[in-house]
Chain A
Amino acid sequence: AQKITQTQPGMFVQEKEAVTLDCTYDTSDQSYGLFWYKQPSSGEMIFLIYQGSYDEQNATEGRYSLNFQKARKSANLVISASQLGDSAMYFCAMSEDQGGKLIFGQGTELSVKP
């Protein structure tokens, strides 16, 4: 069965510092995609970054990068130069088929301190 585990319920980071949010996954499929979403208090899920299981390079999108370690089945999100607006819930998710259902983790609440 597919599963996403986020072991950090809450994280604090000082403004302008980098922070790593942990995510491990479990799947028996060889082809899958890993996603990170940000959920502000308004509720909508905002897509941040994607990593395909066959991608050899770690994904990068602006201040977001994904540290993909396939053998360890981990897909940690790194946010560089944290901003106050980064305070939100962050969810790691997985999909085993293109455009199909997403399996989400429990989320990590990130608080950025001034």
Chain B
Amino acid sequence: DAGVTQSPTHLIKTRGQQVTLRCSPKSGHDTVSWYQQALGQGPQFIFQYYEEEERQRGNFPDRFSGHQFPNYSSELNVNALLLGDSALYLCASSFTGTRNTEAFFGQGTRLTVV
């Protein structure tokens, strides 16, 4: 059983560009959360998707948007990239109604903005 799969693993983009990161949840999971982890910091919650709707959002600008597909996979889009967007982006999946103890994280996408 594959766990949470994120793609790509690494990405280099130029300031001002747009980027799309992808996440496939663990089999049986229907909820996807995204986190941004800057170097040397703890992860920060971006948003959570359930039933193709954004259910909860952290303190991130509108440049950060997402989508969830009927198969529960999810995309994170970041527009007008800034140097400060360079980070490890983590996706976590879970089954709705369960505790975060049941959440599984992917290995992340490392985004570098130059």
A residues adjacent to B (C-beta < 8 A): 4, 33, 35, 37, 42-47, 50, 91, 93, 95, 98-107
Contact = CB atoms under 8 A, between A and B. Distances in A.
Interface residues of B, number: 30
Nearest to B92: A45
Contacts of A103: 45
8 contacts: A44-B4, A45-B43, A46-B105, A47-B104, A99-B31, A99-B100, A104-B42, A106-B40
Interface of B: 4, 31, 33, 35, 40-45, 48, 56, 58, 88, 90, 92, 94, 96-101, 103-108, 110
A4 B40 CA distance: 15
Contact of B99 (A43, A46, A50, A107): A50
Nearest to B108: A43
A101 B33 contact: yes
B37 to A, nearest CB: 8
B2 to A, nearest CB: 13
Given A50-B99, A99-B31, A99-B98, A42 B107 contact: yes
A81 B104 CA distance: 26
Contacts of B90: 43-45
Given A43-B90, A100-B48, A101-B33, A4 B103 contact: no
A9 B81 CA distance: 29
